[in-house]
Amino acid sequence: MSYDDVEIEDMEWNEELKSFTYPCPCGDLFQITKDELKMGEEIARCPSCSLYITVIYNMEDFSDQKSKTNIEPAKQQPVAVA
């Protein structure tokens, strides 16, 4: 069972760890990377103890921009009017 549910907005980006972090009661930090979030992972683990948290976030915020830009707009079809 998850120690807590934490909104991604409540986590801090740690440039050194290249991870979003959140304080763990043991004194270390829960950690989750952007790549893990892109893959749909929602569990941030503490490297020093057995606790983990569930990260609440919108997966679309971390999806690749390439997949959004490769979508072609719908082409208009001619309509016959009688």
DSSP character string of 52-71: EEEEE--GGGGS-HHHHHTP
Amino acid at position 46, single letter: C
What is the CATH number for 33? 3.10.660.10
pLDDT of res. 21: 97
Element holding 45 (H helix, E strand) = strand 43-45
Q: How far does the chain reach from its first CA to its final CA, in angstroms?
A: 65
Tell me the whole-structure pTM to 2 decimals: 0.74
pLDDT in tens, 39-63: 999 999 999 999 999 999 998 888 7
Q: Does a structural domain hold residue 39? A: yes
Q: Does a structural domain hold residue 71? A: no
Q: Does a structural domain hold residue 24? A: yes
Query: What is the total residue count of the chain?
Result: 82
pLDDT in tens, 21-35: 999 999 999 999 999
Q: Does a structural domain hold residue 23? A: yes
